[in-house]
Structures are given as C-alpha cells and as structure tokens.
Amino acid sequence: MTEAGSATVESLSGDRPSRRPLEIFAAIFVAAGSIYFFHLGTDSLGASEAYSAWAAAKPGVGAIVRTPVLHDPGKQVFYYVVLHYYTRILGLSEISLRSMSAIFSLATLMLVFALGCEMFDESTALAAAAMWAFNPLAVVFAHTARMYSMLIAIALAHLLTLLRVRSRPGIMGGIGCGILGAAMLYTHMAGLLILGAEAAILLRDLARGRRDSVAWMAIVLAIALFLPYLPVAIRQSQDLIYGHWLDYLGPPYNYPLAGKLAAGLVAAGVTSWLVFGRAVERDGNEPLRVLVAWIGLPALAFAVGSVILRPMFNPRYLSPGIAAAALLIAGSIGAWSTKWRNLLAAGFALACLIMLPFARTEPPPWRDLAGQVTAGGASEPVFFESGYVSNGNTADVSNGGFPFGYYSVPFNYYFKGANSRIAIPGFDAAAARMTIEERVSEAGGGWLVSWKDRDEVNSELPDANRFRVVETYRQPHLAIYRITPAVK
C-alpha cells in the first residue's frame, strides 16, 4: 500500500473510533463485576466494617455525624451517610454492606477507562483498566464495607472533571468538579493531599502562562464547602495524634534533626521540579507529569510526615493514587512501545487472576466467637478494653477513646444474647484485672477480647493460681481469651 493510501486509512479510522476497545472493556467490566460480587457474605465483618454497619444503622444524619466525632475519630461522614440510605433499602447484612463497595469499585473501573481516554487514547485506557480490574487491592476494596472504594471513585471522578475544565472551561463543569472535591474531603481526610497535588498541577500551568480560572474556582469551591466541617476535623486530628494509633499514627521515630531537614529538602526539591521543571512530553497537557504529581505528591507528604512528625504512611490512604498508577504505567510504556504495553497489561491481568485464590486472608472471628459465647451460657460476661487501640508503650496512657470497648461493636453485630458486655480500662491493667477476677468468679466463666499483644495483656489477666486462662484466638491487634475459675 502506498503512503498516501495508508494515511487515508489512518484518517478514516481516526474519524470513526474502533469499537474493539469498548467491546474488550465491556468484557473486562463484566468479569470484574463477577469477581467483585462473589461471596460478599461468606466471611464475617471485620471490626472496621462493623463500625460502618453501626454508623449506617443510626436513626438519622445527625447521629451519623456524631459517630466519628465521639467514637471513631478520623473517619469522615459522607460514606456513612450514603451507606445509611443504601442499607435502609437493602438491609444491614454482610452482602448489603459490602455490595455498595463493589458498586463503587465498578464505577472506579469505568473512571480509569474514561481517564485513559481523556489523557491518552482508547488503547491506553483499555490497558490501564485491564491492569486495575483484577488487581488484588481492587478486589479487597470491593469486598470491604469501608469508604475506600468510594474514595477512589470520587477522587478519580474529581480528577476527570478537573482535567476537562482545565482543557475545556465551563462554569457548570467547574461547579461539579468543586462538589466532587468536597465529597472527596468528606469521605476521607487524605483528600486534602490530593487537592494539594492538584493545586501544584494548576500552579505549573500558571507558571507556563495558562490561567485555568475555572479549575482554580473548583478547588476553592471544594475547600469552601468543607469549611463548615473543619472544626470537627481539627478535633479529630487532635484525637488521632494523641491517642488513636490503630490505623497509622504511632509514636514518633525521633529521627535526628538533620534527617528531618533532609527529608523536608528532598520533598521541596521534588515538588519544585514537578511544578517548575522543564517539560519533557510532546503533549502540552503533560498527562504523565500530571499523573506523577497526582500520585506522588500525596505519597511524598505521608512519607515526609512520617519522618518529621509521626508514622502515618498506609497504602489505604493512597488508594486513589494506586488506582491511577495503572494509567501512569500504561501511558509511560505506551509512549515507548504499544506492543509491550499491551503484553504487560494482558500478562499482569492474567497474573492477578491466578493470584486471587491465594490472596484470601483469614476471616475475622466474630461469628465463631458469638457461637462460642452462646454455648458457654448467658451468665458469662464478655470483657472489652476501652481506650484507643495503641501500640508499644502507649497502652497505659489514660484516655476516653472507645468507652464501650473497640471490639464490642463487631461482637454485637453477631451476638444478640443477654450476656453482660463489660468495658474495662485498657490503660489501667490493675483495675481491669480486678474487674475480670470479680465478675468471672461470680459467673463461673467469661471471655476477654483484647487489642493488646501478649506482653501487654499479661498484666491484666487474672491470677493463674486461681483462674484458668486459654488463648483461643490471636491475630495482630486482636486476641480472645476464655477465662474460668481454676478447679481445686
């Protein structure tokens, strides 16, 4: 074929987009949906999932808003509110609670494809979707009744609308982008770092003579809509820093000042290069640099914050960037070789499918524990440690966290019996031990559900000469003990 004829064919195919990528994406979408909705009710809820059910079961929005403020700081309210109305229709079963996450995970898959089309082309979008669809992390988020699948979907939708108003400004698009940005903040505080990364992207545009007025308006609108909740978020942050170490904030590493300064300088250098560095892409919109900034700057902030302040790096809080990384990988390799991009996407998807059966973790014990307590009799109390779930030498710090006991919520989801649930102070081992010994002696038996490791929990276990203590379950941050009076 002559060069002119080849150019004509390419021109015609460009005018009429191929349906093949869409057809392949539809097949991937159906396969992913089958996996995301598979066995949603098999395992009992984890502790955090039970808190989602507990918050969703509240009578109204006001009570839902008070839940993270009083009992579970650091958790934003939008997910709980949406889940509340969703479960009013479908109920509070494991399948109902987790199915909303599966729906948002499918929405994420569509958004990955849409972002790929917006930033690159349909073939790159298809490769990115294939790499994300069967990723074990994507499946875990789809199977977990937590806010992370919603956070990913909203964050990617916000990025998509921001890119569109950046290239095709429109007031309605800017308003929609701002609302999505606020929804992201109300879903998880990590959204603040994403907004910061987007501001850095727009600042680069400004430095290169591109004003992006509507995009800036969207960022400002998102922050303005979040301002009414800011005092609550500040109070939550104080609780997180001084007590709530279950998720990510732990005791400081006490790095030397020189190390902290070096980390700060590295972060400043990387950020400056992303904002003011020389352009290396032919596309004036710089999609690869945009993705590097959107993914990398929040991760960098968490990493540097862990060095300067306290440990705070957790992959869950970077979940939107992990999903967007599929776009970065597909776009980067596609710029070098479309053949290798397609082979990598297909191979990675196949490897993920092979790994999925082996990626299943041990199910939480709450359903089994409820059956064991029932068999033990209605007179036996169940003890739960109050206070924040903490690590290392922080367990003896007096605080008012989780006054009813952190693990009482997942236990109560499955156990409806009359057994007394007794909160003992997790930060006062002597008082906890005295209460356990007294109540177990009266009832003839009991159960302790602890978030402490073996060394920490020993000081609150009853006297081994007068009581028999059997550890029936042990996982990180969770142990269950059967306690009975010793036979004389």
Total-model pTM: 0.90
Task: Output the pLDDT for position 305.
Answer: 86
pLDDT in tens, 300-315: 998 898 888 777 777 8
Task: Output the pLDDT for position 126.
Answer: 96
**Is the per-residue pLDDT at 470 higher than 50?**
yes
DSSP 363: P
Task: Output the six-digit token pair for 390.
Answer: 């903490």
**Range 273-288 burial, b when 16+ CB lie within 10 A, else e:** ebbeeeeeeeeeebbb
d(C-alpha 162, C-alpha 153), whole Å:
14
pLDDT in tens, 433-465: 999 999 999 999 999 999 988 888 999 999 999
Nearest to 403 by CA among 387, 419, 420: 387
Nearest to 462 by CA among 450, 475, 476, 474: 450
Strand order in the sheet with 478-485: 421-425, 382-386, 446-450, 478-485, 467-475
Task: Please give the helix or strand (H or E) that residue 385 lies within, else none.
Answer: strand 382-386
What's the average model confidence in pLDDT over 380-389?
89
Q: Give, in order, the Cα–Cα distances in Å from 460 to each of 168, 355, 457.
A: 63, 41, 6
Percent of the chain with pLDDT over 90: 69
Nearest to 75 by CA among 317, 363, 404, 305: 317
d(C-alpha 76, C-alpha 79), whole Å:
7
pLDDT band at 387 (very low <50, low <70, confident <90, very high): confident
pLDDT in tens, 39-84: 999 999 999 999 999 999 999 888 887 776 555 555 678 999 999 9
What's the average model confidence in pLDDT over 217-236?
87
What's the average model confidence in pLDDT over 412-441?
94
pLDDT in tens, 169-195: 999 999 999 999 999 999 998 899 999
Nearest to 154 by CA among 222, 73, 63: 222
DSSP 57: T
Task: Output the pLDDT for position 161.
Answer: 98
Alpha-carbon radius of gyration of the chain? 26
Mean pLDDT of all residues belonging to the chain: 88
The answer to whether 421 touches 376, Cβ cutoff 8 Å, is: no
